[in-house]
A and B are shown apart, each in its own frame.
Chain A
Amino acid sequence: MRMRAAFALVLAAAACGGGDVAVQLPATRAPIRDARPTRLHAGETLTVEGRGGPFTAGATTQVILPGLRGFKGGPMILPARAVGPDRVLATYDSAVFRYTGSSVVEVEQRLPDGTTKRLSSDPRAPFAFELAPRDVATAALLAERALPSLPGWLVGALTLLLVAAIVSLPIPVLAGLIVTWERKISAAMQSRIGPNRVGPRGWLQWLADGVKLLLKEDVIPTAADARLFRAAPYLAFLGLFLTFIVLPFSRTLIVADLDVGVLFLVSVTSLVVVGILVGGWASNSKWSLLGGMRSAAQIISYELPASMALLTLVVTTGSLRTQAIVAAQGAAPWDWFLFRTPFTLVAFVIWFIAALAEGNRTPFDLPEAESELVAGFFTEYSGFRFSLYPLVEWVNLAVIGAVGTALFLGGWRVPFVTPEMMATSWLWDLLGFFVFALKDVAIIFLVIWIRWTLPRFRVDQMMSLCWRYAVPWSMACVLGTLAWVWLVPSGVDQAARIALFALVGVGGGAWFALRVRANARAYSDLVLNEKLGGGRP
């Protein structure tokens, strides 16, 4: 269970050295006036964030919450550290506490020269803990409180199932919508119309295809390893589904904000490789095996640059948590990690390429190269089992988009809306989700666009790209970001971000728009058969 006490320590007046800190807290959350002992379970953390200061980095810092009676009845004291002149981060790993009704928060710093600095909050400001079911354990705890008659483990299991259903049921719909959108985009780029008969303007095509595949005969080749053949698609699906756990769709919409979020993300996507390899092997076909081997080599090789590119962000933020990385960005484009340093920009490109490779998307779709291997590792699959592999591929698009959005494009940050405002009303939260979805959709469009423009790599060229370009460059990015964050002063840093955004974002975008316009003008529409005319959707 995580309890997040979100409060802002605001500088009261121009302060010399110390000064008072005032606490402004979200007032709409109903405070918990519960004097019963409340347990933080082992392994969970209580996180306290504060803004205000000035705080001295390097000093021994602790946050004191007299309003919570901690271990043995004394005030709760949390070890903390200053992560900036105006931020303090306090964590605690398991505690039992009681709320006594006081609303004081104090930050105490013991400076290297021996003096102690103590800043205290305004006691008149309200102080509330938020206990919202933002993750499964919290929900389970709430449910346990609400249904004390049921054993805890049962409640936990039921909650898990419920959350799993909520997360996984939209996935096929998501896959279907993405595939229909892809077909319409590719059609538009090829001067065609795409699906337009099933449903309004063709948007239910996925449903028709899905039902059709469900009704098909389930063919398993005689000499195929039946158990592995059956299991393989689900392994791939598992690898994909697990990534949804750490994706921060909005400030509060995250299944579990794991402390090792990014690491979890990277490691769990490699389960897909197992599914592909097993599928290729179990089909008992040389073409399938070739496809599976190619895919395994590809995905495993590109794990490295992908992870290292994400490492640059972790280094910048200091945390592996996805929500932390989002929170460390701002809403304006120059506050995104995309333009944070030139190295993170390159890291984004490398990560994007590696994500394409891991998702088997053109130009890295050798494992399923239609013109060479018929369908690669899933040649022998038919019916519903067949539909699972492309489903994994298309939902992976959404995951790539989500990860890119969260980590590089500012996530759910909305311009002019602070996270505190979001905490006050769920409408702001929803807006954050929409902004996230918009950015996600933009990245999906980019991936689809690239697929329908470029030819595919050959195996050795793909490997050469990984090991000779992507890996050394991503390493350089990590080192470069480290150096940047350490050495570059904050004013220059700010100026550089804006310059990078202006140069690459605005400048590059403008150049590209001009090329598009030039190409659009270069082509003249021609209609030779006036009676038949052109396309009409």
Chain B
Amino acid sequence: MKRPGYFGSVVEAVRTTAEGLSITLAQYFRRPTTVQYPDRTAVPVRESLPSRYRGFLEVDLATCTACKACERDCPIDVIRIDVEKRDEGRVMSRFDIDLGKCMYCGICVESCPVEVRAEGEAEPQKVIRFTREFEGATTAFPTLTFRFIKPGEAAPPYKPPKKAEAAELPPSPARGEIARRVRAEARVENPPAFAAALAQTLADRDESLPRLLAPEVLAARARELAAKVDGDFPSALVAEALARTDCEACGWPSCGDYARAIASGADAQTWKCLPGAAKATRDVALLVQLRRGASPERAAAAAADLVRMHHRADGSPKTALALPAPIASTSSSTGGGQ
């Protein structure tokens, strides 16, 4: 296309600029379309959402048959249902949905086999269904796990009536009531509960020497590893025992290199894994001993000695191992920076 000349471009510039200005001025006098959430809306936003809106999930346990279809079909594994056998029969002891991780895809809703008639809804709903609740902003992740069965309680599964008797769908509370209640409970009860659970997990993973080298633990581990050591000694087995962080504290460029060195005998110092600490030393020592043909008991004793020689009681190394200096760039990489 012929480009406008010297004067033509001036005329074009003036014309199109004036046109643009007239459009923005016309916009200036229109009413804005933004809505001021949360306090200056005509109705609460929750009520203005369409009925199919995919907000928080809720479960009406009164009608849940504990078929676990939703747990099975969830592509992201956010639903956790525990079914126990108690004196009164099968009961659900846990029905948690982690709504922080959930991607609100709706597959769980589609896979639920039980339909119910929820109050105020024209269409039949499912037992697990979306609500129009969406306000979950929080500073603590645990509050996003909705626990529909409180810890310690149990919910019996629903037994749907036979086909012949089923004239109507079972009733269900209005959508959102259960979610609101559970959300409020989660906000209050979850953080301390999860904090306690975390403390317990950390205690279980205690890696101090008394725990690592307790006779039963050590013997069990020795037997476990003995089953895996078989003739040829793949370095992968050793690598599994190491921390696998490639931190180079041991002096080798990667964990794989250190593992191969141990496996081939090139490096006899098997206690150098800094992040792995006493646990890595114990496991590697067990593997080396088992490789040499020692029995699990002999290997356990030798490993215990080695660990005590090189680690303190809390699991930290006796000789200070420092991380080496970062490798200077050999090539002029994306330097300059900003």
User: Is there a contact between chains A and B in the complex with CB atoms less than 8 Å apart?
Assistant: yes
Chain A contact residues, CB within 8 Å of chain B: 185, 187-193, 285-287, 449-450, 452-454, 468-469, 512, 515-520, 523, 525, 529, 531-537
Q: How far is the CB of A352 from chain B (nearest CB, A)?
A: 12
State whether B30 touches A191 (Cβ < 8 A).
yes
Q: Quick one: CB contact mask for B24-43 with A, threshold 8 Å, 1 for yes? A: 11111111111110001111
In angstroms, how far is the closest chain B Cβ from the Cβ of A3? 47
Q: How far is the CB of A482 from chain B (nearest CB, A)?
A: 23
Task: Answer yes or no: B214 CB below 8 A from chain A CBs.
Answer: no
Residue pair A453, B43 in contact (C-beta under 8 Å)? no
Let me know if B21 is at the binding interface, CB within 8 A: yes
* Docked complex Cα distance between A532 and B38 (Å): 11
Starting from the known contacts A452-B24, A453-B23, A532-B48, 5 additional A-B residue pairs (CB-CB under 8 Å) come to A189-B24, A189-B27, A193-B34, A449-B25, A453-B17
Q: How far is the CA of A192 from the CA of B48 in the complex (A)?
A: 20
Is B154's beta carbon under 8 Å from chain A? no
Cβ of A283 to closest chain B Cβ, rounded Å: 10
A453 x B21 contact (CB < 8 A): yes
A189 and B10 contacting across the interface, CB-CB below 8 Å: no
The list of the 5 closest CB pairs from A to B, nearest first, reads A535-B32, A531-B48, A515-B22, A519-B26, A520-B26
On whether A533 and B32 interact (CB within 8 A), knowing A452-B24, A454-B20, A523-B26, the answer reads: no
Q: Given that A533-B35, A533-B42 are known contacts, is A188 also in contact with B28, CB under 8 Å in the complex?
A: yes
B19 within 8 Å of A (CB atoms): yes
Chain B residues near A516 (CB-CB < 8 A): 22, 25-26
CB nearest neighbor in B for A286: B338
Contact A531 B47 (CB under 8 A): yes
Indicate if the CB atoms of B22 and A535 lie closer than 8 Å.
no
Q: Across the two chains, which residue of chain A brings its CB closest to B16?
A: A454
| In contact, A453 and B24 (Cβ under 8 angstroms) | yes
Residues on A with beta carbons closer than 8 Å to the beta carbon of B48: 529, 531-532
Known A-B contacts A285-B338, A532-B42, A532-B43; the reply to A520 vs B29 at CB < 8 A is yes
The answer, among B28, B36, B43, B338, for a CB contact under 8 Å with A189, is: B28
State whether A523 touches B19 (Cβ < 8 A).
no
A536-B40 in contact (CB<8A): yes
Q: How far is the CB of B35 from chain A (nearest CB, A)?
A: 6
Q: Are B336 and A190 in contact (CB under 8 A)?
A: no
Residue of A nearest to B10 (CB): A469
A286 to B32, CA, bound (A): 40
Of the A-B pairs whose beta carbons lie under 8 Å apart in the complex, a sample of 11, sorted by A's number, is A189-B24, A189-B25, A286-B336, A453-B20, A454-B17, A454-B20, A512-B22, A519-B22, A532-B42, A534-B35, A535-B32
**In the complex, residue of chain B having the shortest beta-carbon distance to the beta carbon of A513:** B22
Inter-chain contacts of B36 with A (CB < 8 A): 193, 535-536
Interface centre among A190, A449, A468, A516 (most CB of B within 10 A): A516
CB distance from A178 to the nearest CB of B (A): 17
Contact size class for B? 20 to 34
* A194 to B: closest C-beta gap in Å: 8
Give a binary string over B1-26; 1 marks a CB under 8 Å from any A CB, 0 the rest. Answer: 00000100010000001111111111
Do the beta carbons of B27 and A190 come within 8 Å of each other? Answer: yes
Question: B241 on the interface (CB 8 Å rule)?
Answer: no
Give A468's nearest chain B residue, CB to CB: B6
**A534→B33 contact, CB < 8 A:** yes
CB distance from B47 to the nearest CB of A (A): 7
Contacts of A453 on B, CB cut-off 8 Å? Answer: 17, 20-21, 23-24
With a cutoff of 8 Å between Cβ atoms, the chain B residues found around residue A533 in the complex are 35, 41-42
Contact A185 B28 (CB under 8 A): yes
Q: Is B45 an interface residue (CB 8 A)?
A: yes
Asked if B32 and A188 sit within 8 Å, CB to CB, the answer is: yes
A287–B338 CA distance with the chains assembled, in angstroms: 7
Q: How far is the CA of A188 from the CA of B18 in the complex (A)?
A: 18
Instruction: Determine whether the beta carbon of B26 is less than 8 Å from that of A512.
Output: no
Closest chain B residue to A469 by CB distance?
Answer: B10
A191 / chain B contacts, CB cutoff of 8 Å: 27, 30, 32-34
Q: Taking the nearest CB of chain B, how far is it from the CB of A364, in angstroms?
A: 14
Complex contacts, B27 vs chain A, CB 8 Å = 188-191
What B residues does A520 contact at CB under 8 A? Answer: 26, 29-30
| B18, B27, B36, B336 — most chain A CB neighbours (10 Å) | B27
Known: A188-B28, A531-B43, A533-B42. A449 touches B35 (CB 8 A): no
| Known contacts A191-B27, A533-B42; A449 and B34 CB within 8 A of each other | no
Which residues of B sit under 8 angstroms from A515, Cβ to Cβ? 18-19, 22
B104: min CB distance to chain A, Å: 20
Q: Hey, which chain B residues are within 8 Å of A531, CB to CB? A: 42-43, 47-48
Contacts of A469 on B, CB cut-off 8 Å? 10
- Chain A residues near B336: list those with CB within 8 A: 286
Contacts of A286 on B, CB cut-off 8 Å? 336, 338
Residues of A within 8 A of B40 (CB): 536
Q: Give A453 to B17 CA distance when docked, in angstroms.
A: 8
Given contacts A286-B338, A531-B43, A532-B42, contact A192 B30 (CB under 8 A): no
Q: In the assembled complex, how far is the CB of residue B45 from the closest CB belonging to chain A, in whole angstroms?
A: 7
Which single member of A450, A454, A512, A534 contacts B31 (CB below 8 Å)? Answer: A534
Rounded to whole Å, the gap between the CB of A242 and the closest CB of chain B is 32
* B338 x A193 contact (CB < 8 A): no
Q: Which of B294-338 contact A (CB under 8 A)?
A: 336, 338
B33 touches which one: A189, A449, A535 (CB < 8 A)?
A: A535
Give B43-79 interface residues, CB cut-off 8 Å to A. 43, 45, 47-48
B30 engages A523 (CB within 8 Å) = yes
Considering the chains assembled together, what is the distance between the CA atoms of A535 and B10 in angstroms? 39
Given A286-B338, A515-B18: A535 and B35 interface contact (C-beta under 8 Å): yes
Closest chain B residue, CB of each to CB of A374: B338
Of B10, B26, B41, B336, the most chain A CB neighbours within 10 A belong to: B26
- Check if B43 sits within 8 Å of A525, measured CB to CB: no
B47 neighbours in A (Cβ, 8 Å): 531
